[in-house]
Amino acid sequence: DTAVSQTPKYLVTQMGNDKSIKCEQNLGHDTMYWYKQDSKKFLKIMFSYNNKELIINETVPNRFSPKSPDKAHLNLHINSLELGDSAVYFCASSQSRGLFPGELFFGEGSRLTVL
Amino acid sequence: EDQVTQSPEALRLQEGESSSLNCSYTVSGLRGLFWYRQDPGKGPEFLFTLYSAGEEKEKERLKATLTKKESFLHITAPKPEDSATYLCAVQVRNYGGSQGNLIFGKGTKLSVKP
């Protein structure tokens, strides 16, 4: 039973389109994240979402919007896709324990290619 | 600016040849340092968390250590199945407004030949 699952695994689309990536975790964690891994393999935080509090990395364009219907789901919607959005997007979750959220559990990633 | 640098970028070892990976960091306030393993086409998998200088953690052939400026991941007598990219990440006080987000290094790609 997959702990953090993302769909789709691969996504190929044209510039200007709108797309969504879905994420679900069955670990009972209270915090979920979206990370972006670019072509140079750098993993960078995009958003974290905890108990309906959204923390946005200031470098993320507002074309990206996370949506969380409930504690176990955090979807990523991207408007007006650009070539530079091509990357692997990872969803992750963790359980906050006092001051430390603990280790992250990652999904397998969604590879987005914008043509 | 908070920064994490890993070296070397790539490391090729023979099976049984022990070595170390380095993670140096420059951060305003370290709350924790994490090591992850990432296999091709997969998400990172958590290995260790270190919170204070002098702390050590071990798991099978891996041992992680932490000083005030860097962390080492020591690999003893590696096997081909240890081949992966090893990522170091730090948790920084109030990074991006959140206390839980991680800053990752670029990783060290380890290849172990039989």
CB A6 within 8 A of CB A112: no
Give residue for tokens 């039973």.
A1
Asked if the C-beta of A96 comes within 8 angstroms of chain B's C-beta atoms, the answer is yes
Supply the mean pLDDT for chain A: 89
Using only the alpha carbons of chain A, give its radius of gyration.
14
pLDDT for residue A39 = 84
SS (H, E, C) B63-85: EEEECCCEEEEEECCCCHHHCEE
Q: Least CA distance to A57: which residue of chain B? A: B96
- What average pLDDT score do residues A50-72 get? 85
Tokens describing residue A49: 């979402």
Name the one residue in this structure whose structure tokens are 């270190």. B50
Higher pLDDT, A50 or A22: A22
* pLDDT value of position A79: 96
Residue A100 pLDDT grade (very low, low, confident, very high; cuts 50, 70, 90): low
Q: What is the pLDDT of residue A97?
A: 59
- On whether any CB of chain A is under 8 Å from the CB of B97, the answer is yes
Sorting pLDDT into bands at 50, 70 and 90, what band is A65? very high
Average pLDDT over residues A92-101: 70
Q: What does the alpha-carbon distance between residue B27 and residue B29 come to, in Å, rounded to a whole number?
A: 6
Pick from A43, A56, A102: which is nearest to B104 by CB? Answer: A43
pLDDT at B84: 97
Task: Name residues 10-39 of chain A within 8 A of B (Cβ).
Answer: 31, 33
Average pLDDT for B87-109: 78
For residues A61-80, average pLDDT: 93
Residue A54, strand partner residues: A49
Please tell me the predicted confidence (pLDDT) of residue B18: 97
Q: Looking at the complex, does the CB of residue B100 fall below 8 Å from at least one CB of chain A?
A: yes
Residue B86 has pLDDT above 80, yes or no: yes
Q: What is the pLDDT of residue B2?
A: 81
**Which has the higher per-residue pLDDT, B23 or A95?**
B23
What tens digit of pLDDT does each residue of B12-43 get?
999 999 999 999 999 887 888 999 999 999 99
The pLDDT of residue A102 is: 61
Write phi, then psi, for B91 (nearest 5 degrees).
Answer: -105, 125
Q: What is the pLDDT of residue A61?
A: 92
Smallest CA–CA separation between A87 and chain B, in Å?
12
Q: What is the mean pLDDT of residues B61-88?
A: 97
